[in-house]
Amino acid sequence: MNTHGAWLGILGGGQLGRLFVMSAQSLGYRVMVLDPDADSPAGRSADCHLCGAYDNEAMLAVMASRCAAVTIEFEGVPAKTLAWLSTRCRVTPDAASVEIAQDRIAEKALLSRLVGVAPHAVIRGEADIARVPENLFPGILKTARMGYDGRGQIAVADRTLLRAAFMHLGYVPCVFEKRVDLARELSVVLARDVSGGLATYAVAENQHVNGILDTSIVPARISTAQARTATDAAVAVAETLGYTGVMCLELFELGDGSIIANEMAPRPHNSGHWTLDAAMTSQFEQQVRVTAGLPLGSTQQTMPAAMINLLGDSWQHGTPDFKMLLGDPQTRLWLYGKAQARPGRKMGHYTCLAVDVNAALARAAALHVTAARSVSHAA
């Protein structure tokens, strides 16, 4: 595709969309964003912002007529929208892949067959609760749809609490998952193009706080064999789906060293933000390349990295003082341009580079403490 002045479209206006817009513009594309938020980060950065719902056919028709190809920022975009668009322009990823990622029940079935998952039961009604095996307790009840960053999830110790949790979640279809002996959380980001070509990034080791990603360490502190198992699992999912686009597979390393799948994200992922500063091609440029039909870029990691999320909690006393972060020559700060800071809302991140991953993590931890102190003095 001729990059000069050509249009690409993206559904979703958050920070992932904003970073896609920036990457696309750096390659000469114009970008059209469809998002209902008039002040969305991606919408403000784009060449054209269509402010409307994701099923607004009039706006979708405008996007389809102007854009050579369309992608997504998050998996909440209606699959029907992607199917409609795909009859008028190229769409990555496809509606079928996104539809599986939107439904934990379908997703668990796929991942169970290809990789292996934690023991679980599907809960669609009270009768299913009565059939849950005792050995699944304690566990976590998760809504089948629209749950992320810890939302739509309740820890459950016994059957009585499972009934209460099911009621609290509104009796919607759920997956009840046994708590496993977890050693660490991992993720693999990859890109697959229209011809089936694959490019995989280094495995990330992830640490969560209150269900939200806090730190990603790359490369993960696992064995070469484990890294290969994790990467092979992500490739198997992408190839089975015939997936086109950027995808992340989240995994668990268990206490015995084995690896199972958690869930997939049909888009760039928070744990892949390190690629902006420590890979030859970022996950966002890779998304642009796949969407536009360009050759995949190199995923070579240039330096070990540790990425720290910055949540809205740090803005509770005003805008943080980022002088220490900005003054560190091996640290890069990224802010997402969100107008309102709320507890748990992702406002930005920073990535620290070093000669080895433990040094990068130590640098990130030290700057994290410094930043927190700066925030407390900013009130």
The pLDDT of residue 4: 54
Kindly report, residue by residue over 137-180, the tens digit of the pLDDT.
999 999 999 766 557 899 999 999 999 999 999 999 999 999 99
Kindly report, residue by residue over 286-324, the tens digit of the pLDDT.
999 999 999 999 999 999 999 999 999 989 888 898 999
CATH code of 143's domain: 3.30.1490.20
The alpha carbon torsion through 314, 189, 69, 146 (nearest 10 deg) reads -60
164 and 204 within one domain: no
Side-chain-facing half-sphere of 8: CA atoms under 13 Å: 32
The pLDDT of residue 223: 98
Residue 213 counted as domain residue:
yes
234 and 143 within one domain: no
CATH code of 256's domain: 3.30.470.20
136-141-143 Cα angle (round to 5): 140
247 and 353 within one domain: yes
Residue 168 counted as domain residue:
yes
Give the predicted TM-score (pTM) of the model: 0.94
7-21, 320-334, 346-360, 363-377: least confident range: 363-377
354 and 213 within one domain: yes
Domain, as residue range, for 365: 182-376
Kindly report, residue by residue over 68-117, the tens digit of the pLDDT.
999 999 999 999 999 999 999 999 999 999 999 999 999 999 999 999 99
Residue 99 counted as domain residue:
no
> Count of domains in the chain?
3
Contacts of 22 (CB under 8 A, 6+ apart): 45, 284
174 and 141 within one domain: yes
309 and 292 within one domain: yes
Phi, psi (5° rounding) for residue 220? -60, 150
Last residue within a domain, chosen from 178, 197, 218: 178
Residue 269 counted as domain residue:
yes
43 and 60 within one domain: yes
Residue 316 counted as domain residue:
yes
169 and 189 within one domain: no
Mean per-residue pLDDT over the chain, rounded = 94
